[in-house]
Structure 1
Amino acid sequence: MPTLTPPQDCNSMQELRAQIDKLDRQLIEKLVARAGYIDRASQLKPAEGLPARIPDRVEEVVQRVRASSDDLGMDPDLAEQMWRILIDWSIAREERVLGSD
């Protein structure tokens, strides 16, 4: 993963935008990796009798993300909105394998 230049060390908009583009790619790489775990979950859940959507787990993930974002200085409400979209997408991905609840 390419090293990013800290924002305060960027001396032009071109340099800053290049760093943002690198970071965006790294974020996508992380989301692709996360999707791999979702795919594995859809393979493991049937043996454990688990459905794609587990409401308590959804809320546990959301609360953990809110706490992490708050600790790291990100708006927890924004993080929650983003993760709820990500979670819904992930559940839909699992349901393609497992069927809907």
Structure 2
Amino acid sequence: MTDRHPPQDCADMPALRQQIDRLDRDLIALLAERAGYIDRAIALKTANNWPARIPARVEEVVANARTTASAAGLDPDLVESLWRQLVEWSIAREARVIREE
């Protein structure tokens, strides 16, 4: 396991890259965890005859991501773009299972 170091404590590119690689692994683990919740959403939506796409929820998720990004000092436009792609992937995953187009 790689120790966590703030960017300013990385003395060289290998140390910096090690931290970026660690963060990438952490992000992927979080995305995998999120996918598990999407799987649960599929079960709930199927049981309740709900559609995969709920437009108001899509916009709520994107707005929340933009707000969180702004608060963290990250470009909200970048985060919105990433989140829209993530949400679309999630909806497609749900739709495949609950047989929506």
TM score, norm. by length of structure 2: 0.94
CA distance in 1, matches of 2:2, 2:42: 32
Report the identity percentage: 57
Moved over 6 A (4+): none
CA distance in 2, matches of 1:91, 1:18: 33
**Gap runs ≥5 in structure 2:** none
**Which residue does the alignment assign to 1:78?**
78
Instruction: Verify the 8 A CA contact 1:69 1:76 in the aligned structure 2.
Output: yes
**Gap runs ≥5 in structure 1:** none
**Which residue does the alignment assign to 1:69?**
69
CA distance in 1, matches of 2:82, 2:73: 16
* Residue 13 of structure 1 pairs with residue 13 of structure 2: yes
Whichever residue aligns with residue 68 of structure 1, its letter is: T
Shift of 1:100: 1.2
TM score, norm. by length of structure 1: 0.94
CA distance in 1, matches of 2:2, 2:91: 31
The two structures, once aligned, show a CA RMSD in angstroms of: 1.3
Q: Number of residues paired by the alignment?
A: 101
Change (3 A) 1:44 1:3: farther
